[in-house]
Amino acid sequence: MPLTRTADLIRPGAAVAAFNVITVEHAEAIAAGAEAAGRPAVLQLSENAVKFHGGRLTPIASAAAAVARASSAPLALHLDHVESIDLLHAAAAHDFSSVMYDASKLPYAENVKATAEAARWAHARGLWLEAELGRIGGKPGDAHTPGVRTDPVEAVAFVADTGIDALAVAVGSAHAMTSRTAALDHTLITALRDAVPVPLVLHGSSGVPDPELRRAVASGIAKVNVGTALNTAYTGAVRAFLEAHPSTVDPRRYLAPAREAMAGAVERFLGVVGGRGAT
């Protein structure tokens, strides 16, 4: 089916899950998991994934879009954690309906200036723009910064001054956690939801236990970003297969069960966070 737009998957009282794509198998697994769950999802490519592909956006973005179009599930394409202006500008020439522009490393005033400019650029091209306020932490080269939180008063000013469509908030999660031990600040999520006029996005959701995730969605999180948990499932299956079959050289032998394990993880997350069609 044709690609869905990220903005059309944002629904009050439910969350859409957005899953990181690194390889074509990731895209196939996300599509299969969404089909199995009977729910929509977002396929997102991060700037780091584009760097992994030698800085070339077109091959992996085209492949992810083709996989999404071939699926019977409603799927949207999002460009994630973009820091490079050149990459932001490249989004318009591809099939993305949304971009997260990440200037959260900058001091507040510079973050506002850069994000407002990115939002103006995106809106002129019909793109939905997400931005981050309050360092979520845990990306490669980053320290985990569990103490940093998004301040609701600052968040309201940030949204007003930038014109963004969605806000990534620091509420207790951190990127790249391989244990599901993050404790979210639900009082803060509720305060942000009540104060901020745009949908809230939870990053680093791999490290958040299921009950915490359900509560976060009930408290007002509208988009849940998941990456590491898919890689844990995928790599675990590769490792198990190769341990059991050490002489295997054909990658299809170990990538097929790995892709299946990843699809299972996607289906499971979709069951936890809901989204359109959730029961």
Catalytic residues: 80
Helix (H, G, I), strand (E, B) or coil at 263: helix
Binding-site size, Zn ion (CB under 5 A): 1
Q: Using alpha carbons only, how large is the chain's radius of gyration in Å?
A: 18
Report yes or no: 26 and 19 within 8 Å, Cβ to Cβ. yes
Cβ closer to Zn ion: 39 or 223? 223
Give the C-alpha separation, 136 to 42, whole Å: 20
C-alpha 84 chain-centroid distance: 18
Please, which of residues 80-119 interact with ligand G3H by CB under 6 A?
Answer: 80-81
Residue 81 φ/ψ, nearest 5 degrees: 50, 50
Task: Show Cβ contacts of residue 161 under 8 Å, excluding neighbours closer than 6 positions.
Answer: 112, 116
In the window 50-69, what residues touch Zn ion (CB under 5 A)? none
When the beta carbons of 46 and 162 are compared against Zn ion, the nearer one is 46
> Is 161 or 215 the residue whose CB approaches ligand G3H more closely?
215
Q: Which amino acid is at 31?
A: A
Q: Which does 227 bind (CB under 5 to 8 A by kind): Zn ion, ligand G3H, none?
A: ligand G3H
137 touches ligand G3H by CB under 6 A: no
By CB under 6 A, is residue 6 in contact with ligand G3H? no
The contact mask relative to ligand G3H for 36-75 (x = CB under 6 A, - = no) is ----------------------------------------
Check residue 203 for interaction with Zn ion (CB under 5 A).
yes
